[in-house]
Amino acid sequence: GGSPFALCVTCEELDDLERKHRNNPARREAAIRDKKEHIALVNAERQAYYDNRAAACKDPENFLSLIVDGADQSSFGLPHFYRKTKETSGIKIPTKLYGVISHGRGSYAYTVPPNAPTGVNLTVEILHRVFQHVLETEGRLPKTLFLQLDNTTGQNKNNYLLAFLS
């Protein structure tokens, strides 16, 4: 079998370049070299994540490792009925679903109404709830936070989130 990970845009582009330049050995080799470098970087990032996850599991007093992600809302709706009837089959309110994995501690799931805005405020709210739960159950927050988020500037990687985390 193949990798459990989806092919990223960079890999697709480099594969396309390799195919496009199959008759130009220099350009084809450059695309192959660039893809090997890209794969090495991705693997190094993945290994750093695995190391951070292991640190949080081994030493939860000092490390907190979180992954936060949202799911495509088109797949989710409430209420969910065990059996659908004619009366219930058309009832479905689209719902945003967000999950947090706290390595060595547990998981959290949050449902968000469809009219609630996404963005940095939602990310901060979710993180605040997780931090509050850790604080309430353990009495303190660890000194080091490892945080993995999607690479979206509007929702996750911006000055507002950095200010909250500081």
> What is the block-wise mean pLDDT of the chain (166 residues), using blocks of 10 residues?
72 93 94 95 94 97 95 66 74 82 96 83 94 97 94 78 92
User: CA-to-CA distance for 128 and 165, rounded, in angstroms?
Assistant: 10
| Amino acid identity at 13 | E
Tell me the CA distances in angstroms from 158 to 45, 60, 79, 162, one per residue in order: 20, 27, 34, 6
Cα 104-6-36 angle, rounded to 5 deg: 100
Cα 99-65-95 angle, rounded to 5 deg: 10
User: CA-to-CA distance for 166 and 116, rounded, in angstroms?
Assistant: 26
End-to-end Cα separation, the chain, in angstroms:
43
Tell me the CA distances in angstroms from 132 to 39, 123, 127, 139, 140, one per residue in order: 37, 14, 8, 10, 9
Tell me the CA distances in angstroms from 71 to 13, 16, 85, one per residue in order: 26, 29, 27
User: What is the structure's pLDDT at 74?
Assistant: 59
What lies within 8 Å, CB to CB, of 40 at 6+ separation is none
- Tokens 């092919």 map to which residue? 7
Alpha helices in 102-149 (DSSP H): 120-138
Cα 160-137-107 angle, rounded to 5 deg: 65
User: What is the structure's pLDDT at 19?
Assistant: 94
